[in-house]
Amino acid sequence: MKRITLLVSIFFLFRLIATAQISSGGKPLPLTLTRSAVPVLFEEMPAFDVAEELRLDSLTGEDMRGSFRFAYKFMTDFTPQNSGTSFTLADGTRVWRLGIRSVGAYSINLLFSEFEIPPGARLFLYNKSQTHVLGAFTHRNNSELRILPVSPVDGDEIIVEYQEPANVPFAGILRVGEVNHAYRSFRDREPTDVNGSYSCMLPLACLPDDPVVTDELGRSVVLLIIDGQRFCTGVMVNNTDNNGKPYLLTASHCINYNFSITDPEEFHVQAGTVVTFFNYNSPLCETIVRATEELTMASAKLVAMNEAHDMALLELLETPPAYYQPYYAGWTLAEEPEAPYFNIHHPQASLKRYNWLDDGISLTTYKTMGFTTDAHWYVNRWTQGSTAGGSSGSPLFDNEGSIIGLLTGGSSSCARPESDYFYAFHPCWQPDEEKSLQLKHWLNPSGKAVTKWGGLNPYTESETCERLSHVKQSGIQEEITMTTIPDSHETIPLFGNNPYDATTYVEGYDVAGNALVYGVYLVTPSVGNSYEGLEVEIHLYGGGETPGELLHAEPFLPTYTDWDRESGSFTEREKSLRRTQENFVRFSKPVEVKDRFYIGYRILSAPEKCYFAAFNLPEREGAENTTWLFYDKKWIEASAHPKRAMATSLFVDPVVQREDKSGNTGMDRDDQVLVSLSADRSQLYLLLPDGINQGELAVMDIQGRVLQTSSLRNQQETIPLISYSPGVHLLKITFNNNQVVKKVLF
């Protein structure tokens, strides 16, 4: 076995910070290509005392509202040169595979402590059956820190596969530096009983129509997983330049292991391991549904941290994609903010919850850890709700929806919703002239004479995505059900696989013009105990009054991103289908539709007694039907179903970007051009679409002034860059009468 050092992770009940782990889709090679090599593929992790880890966890105090620890870290040193197996395909593509086994793990996540790969190269992580695949990770995932944390893959085995074409501009560098063995699963801890310890913490879906605590404001709050083993909460925050910089605010004790880390360089390393979960919400209020886990970002850089206040400001490596529907919250420097106050958080890494306080708050000294005097807001008693481990770093908003503080610690619970402390926003504004210890330099870069600033949607109106939903529009989404085949001795879904030869079900949507479909949400019940062999595709059809041409098919393989401490990298993990949950399937590229389209699922195969379906609205008088099924070689409406005719809607919600009426369809089309920077920001890597091998590049500042131009003569180009001042710049790429503009941060 290669060099392995065991590291017992200090129990950390705190926060988590955000990053940009966006995968580019695709599939790894069939594992059977090297079946003869599989026995020598795996590296075995040594055993450790799980009971002792749980005992150590139980000793941690409750004062700090950090996250619970769930994984044990192995420090490793696995590279293509010393581990796994390598081979070359007929087209010259070099492939490296490495298997890692840690017996008894709920899941395994990795950290690539060295990661820089060229354009055209792809990295996948998956389980042995390839039912849970993360990736592809590409040169777009390169970062200044040259690391890549990857979300967990379920089970006690994980396989790394790196594919590098023959004609790349440089050889990729990969090193698995950490392997994290999950000795408990945070997914098993999702509180679902409304009468339990989370009963007072209402899901965000329970929010009444409120002019302040809107769905938009809720989208600013994110769940963080740090270093593959700790959970916290954070909030995306706007700056006065309104330039869309993806700043993430959380608590410093989430970054520094409850102040046990003293090396400032390690703070930056910890920030690089962050996985940020967007829209981790239950779609229902009364019946808590497992939240979407597919919308993640991997890694961030630390820009400011002040331990005397418990403040940490991070910056994601790129702007969250439009289909994540991100929002950056506003803030205020008010020293006497007005009630009521609202807190949105992820207690114990569960789905998003909210609290509120009708009475006033007071500025006080939080004596734990020697924080600055009179720099924390004290919540004496919540009107509704409480906090818990994992809530650290969550924002406290005033009556206008402005951030006034972020959670450090406390002792509140549903049984006794008292005594929580939020570090106040205004004392962190400029407590020190050093830029790395304050917020002002970053959130007010132009020095505007302001004491408050509003929130921001980082996308223009033409770029903004929206989630369409017939179920939510009905107003009775709490009544969703899985309608079953009548007179059956089993619970067989009417809109799923059943004995009646209907396997394809879709929802019809109108967009009144052209639009791009980025993906689709499906809210599904449990499929049963065994689903190995279940194969489902998402289908998108054009059409008019009935579904027409098949425009796109995408495998239904719901996964989530995690940081694997044992491998030192981010990884993708397969979601279990044995629970009621919301899933998001991202299309490999946006698909154009016009006026009316149909979207849903086709069940290709399923094992015995495994039934897949989306939830649907119950049968009711006067209901409008939006559901179609393919039956007896033709499309029919659900209201004409031969076994149980009923007007209904499926919980199948597409995410669309409507066409800009001016003719501009958005500046950041993923299917146009891929760009990334070398780790030292001296070179630009650019990949044009298939079939395009010439064009022009212009590098511009944010005001549109041209700083550098280059002619493009190949589909893949490596372009030397001149030295630029720090900040956001624009890349204008022109080819075949097309023009694409990308943002890049120098």
- Tell me if 69 is assigned to some domain: yes
Q: Do both 550 and 680 map to the same domain?
A: no
CB 467 within 8 A of CB 474: no
CATH number, domain of 738, equals 2.60.40.3080
Q: Distance (Å, rounded) from C-alpha 295 to C-alpha 572? A: 11
Q: Do both 41 and 127 map to the same domain?
A: yes
Each residue of 202-242: pLDDT tens digit?
A: 998 888 777 788 889 999 999 998 887 788 999 999 999 99
Each residue of 352-366: pLDDT tens digit?
A: 999 999 988 999 999
Mean pLDDT taken over the chain: 84
CB atoms within 10 A of CB 283: 28
Check whether the bond before 499 is cis (ω within 30° of 0).
no
- Tell me if 350 is assigned to some domain: no
Average pLDDT over residues 399-425: 94
Q: Distance (Å, rounded) from C-alpha 445 to C-alpha 650? A: 47
SS3 42: strand
CA 580 to chain centre: 19
- Tell me if 267 is assigned to some domain: no
- Tell me if 84 is assigned to some domain: yes
Average pLDDT over residues 374-403: 95
Q: Do both 51 and 134 map to the same domain?
A: yes
Name the pLDDT band for 474 (thresholds 50, 70, 90): very high
Q: Where is 54: in which H helix or E strand?
A: helix 50-58
Each residue of 621-652: pLDDT tens digit?
A: 889 999 999 999 999 999 999 889 999 999 99
User: 500 or 539, which is more confident?
Assistant: 539
Q: Give 578's DSSP letter.
A: S
Q: pLDDT at residue 12 above 60?
A: no
Q: Give the pLDDT score at 58.
A: 54
Closest CA to 27 of 173, 125, 105: 125
Q: Do both 489 and 585 map to the same domain?
A: yes
Domain boundary among 169, 189, 209: 189
Domain boundary among 142, 162, 189: 189
- Tell me if 129 is assigned to some domain: yes
Q: In percent, how much of the chain has pLDDT > 90?
A: 51
Show the CA angle centred on residue 56, arms to residues 54 and 61, nearest 5°: 110
- Tell me if 48 is assigned to some domain: yes
CB 222 within 8 A of CB 277: yes
- Tell me if 538 is assigned to some domain: yes
Q: Give the pLDDT score at 19.
A: 29
Each residue of 594-605: pLDDT tens digit?
A: 999 999 999 999
Q: Do both 624 and 727 map to the same domain?
A: no
Name the pLDDT band for 320 (thresholds 50, 70, 90): very high
Q: Which residues contact 694 (CB under 8 A, 6 or more apart)?
A: 711, 712, 713, 714, 735
Q: Do both 614 and 689 map to the same domain?
A: no
Q: Do both 480 and 586 map to the same domain?
A: yes
Mean pLDDT is lowest, of 5-14, 242-251, 677-686, for 5-14
SS3 250: strand
Q: Distance (Å, rounded) from C-alpha 237 to C-alpha 245? A: 9
Each residue of 140-168: pLDDT tens digit?
A: 888 777 888 887 788 899 999 999 999 89
Handedness of CA 428, 144, 71, 256 (dihedral sign): negative
Closest CA to 306 of 439, 460, 131, 171: 439
Domain boundary among 189, 205, 227: 189
Q: pLDDT at residue 18 above 50?
A: no
Name the pLDDT band for 679 (thresholds 50, 70, 90): low
Name the pLDDT band for 72 (thresholds 50, 70, 90): confident
Q: Do both 19 and 139 map to the same domain?
A: yes
Q: Domain limits at 596?
A: 466-558+575-658
Average pLDDT over residues 430-453: 96
Q: What residues form DSSP beta bridges with 480? A: none
Average pLDDT over residues 703-715: 78
Tally the domains of the chain.
Answer: 3
Q: Do both 71 and 105 map to the same domain?
A: yes
Q: Distance (Å, rounded) from C-alpha 579 to C-alpha 74? A: 31
Q: Give the pLDDT score at 241.
A: 94
Q: pLDDT at residue 194 above 50?
A: no
Q: Do both 733 and 599 map to the same domain?
A: no
- Tell me if 588 is assigned to some domain: yes
Q: Do both 538 and 686 map to the same domain?
A: no
Q: pLDDT at residue 500 above 90?
A: no
Tokens 């109108």 correspond to 510
Q: Distance (Å, rounded) from C-alpha 337 to C-alpha 334? A: 5
Q: Distance (Å, rounded) from C-alpha 564 to C-alpha 228? A: 5
Q: Do both 593 and 714 map to the same domain?
A: no
CATH number, domain of 483, equals 2.60.120
Closest CA to 648 of 398, 431, 461, 470: 470
User: 227 or 398, which is more confident?
Assistant: 398
Q: Distance (Å, rounded) from C-alpha 613 to C-alpha 665? A: 34
User: 330 or 3, which is more confident?
Assistant: 330
User: 249 or 108, which is more confident?
Assistant: 249
Q: pLDDT at residue 53 above 80?
A: no
Q: Give the pLDDT score at 40.
A: 67
Q: Give the pLDDT score at 660.
A: 56
Query: Over the range 664-683, which residues count as b (16 or more CB within 10 Å of their CB) and which as e?
Result: ebbbbbbebbbbbbbeeeeb
Radius of gyration of the chain (CA): 25
